[in-house]
């Protein structure tokens, strides 16, 4: 059984791990086997937006592009939220058009995120990466059809155990993001919190992977 890493910025190319490597349009690496590609709210450049979206559209049609993202909303940066929302919605439309799940970066904008999903009637799977918030936010996301991925903050913040335990197994993904720890360490801790074996957790994530990405590991 493979480990699936929903979101990483660094490919390790290990045979027993399927990694969804985050890519940006202006730094695309064609040698990466499976990737997500998106315009992160931190890196929106208006002068380059047209060409970035054009490249995103081309790459979204490739078989080894498994998802759009990471993209989303971040209220703690200086880029205007209206511009962020415009760029995010453009990417959601691409995801809908090419039936790609979306890996989402969201900081202090979960209500806006839920509102956009409803307004645009988005039907492709939406996955919140690097979740670190409380049980109430998690519950709202689950009720609105989102998947939630845990990784860095699960390792760093013991208080997330309580939140993680409340997430239904059919909505869970795991990731490393930018941490040095391997995905195995995330699975070990997550399995401990859930009171199941690592192998059982691998099977849980595998089922979720098939449901969301529609391909075999």
Could you tell me which of 145, 155, 205 has the C-alpha nearest to residue 178?
Answer: 155
Cα 54 to Cα 27, 41, 48, 57, 97: the distances in Å are 14, 17, 10, 5, 14
**Residue 172 · residue 200 · CB < 8 Å:** no
Say whether 105 counts as a known binding-site residue: yes
Please state, in angstroms and rounded to a whole number, the distance separating the CA atoms of residues 89 and 92: 5
Question: Shortest CA distance to 42 belongs to which of 19, 27, 66, 24?
Answer: 24
Rounded to the nearest 5°, which phi and psi values hold at 137?
-65, -45
Q: Does the annotation flag 206 for ligand binding?
A: no
What is the C-alpha separation between 27 and 23, in angstroms, rounded? 7
Could you give the CA distance from residue 156 to residue 31 in angstroms, rounded to a whole number? 31
Cα–Cα dist 127/157, whole Å: 21
Please report, in range form, the residues annotated as the binding site for a divalent metal cation: 70, 105, 129, 177
Please report, in range form, the residues annotated as the binding site: 70, 105, 129, 177
């Amino acid at each position: 059984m493979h480990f699936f890493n929903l979101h990483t910025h660094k490919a390790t190319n290990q045979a027993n791990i399927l990694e969804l490597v985050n890519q940006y349009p202006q730094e695309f690496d064609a040698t990466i086997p499976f990737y997500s590609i998106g315009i992160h709210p931190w890196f929106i450049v208006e002068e380059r937006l047209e060409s970035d979206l054009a490249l995103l559209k081309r790459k979204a049609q490739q078989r080894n592009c498994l998802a759009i993202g990471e993209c989303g909303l971040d209220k703690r940066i200086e880029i205007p939220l209206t511009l962020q929302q415009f760029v995010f919605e453009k990417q959601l439309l691409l995801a809908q058009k090419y039936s790609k799940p979306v890996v989402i970066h969201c900081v202090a904008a979960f209500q806006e995120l839920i509102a956009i999903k409803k307004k645009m009637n988005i039907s492709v799977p939406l996955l919140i990466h690097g979740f670190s918030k409380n049980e109430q936010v998690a519950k709202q996301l689950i009720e609105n059809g989102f998947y939630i991925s845990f990784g860095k903050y699960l390792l760093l913040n013991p208080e997330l155990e309580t939140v993680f335990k409340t997430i239904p197994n059919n909505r869970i993904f795991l990731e490393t993001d930018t941490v040095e720890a391997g995905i195995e360490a995330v699975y070990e801790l997550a399995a401990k919190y859930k009171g199941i074996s690592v192998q059982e957790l691998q099977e849980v994530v595998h089922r979720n992977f098939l449901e969301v990405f529609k391909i075999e590991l």
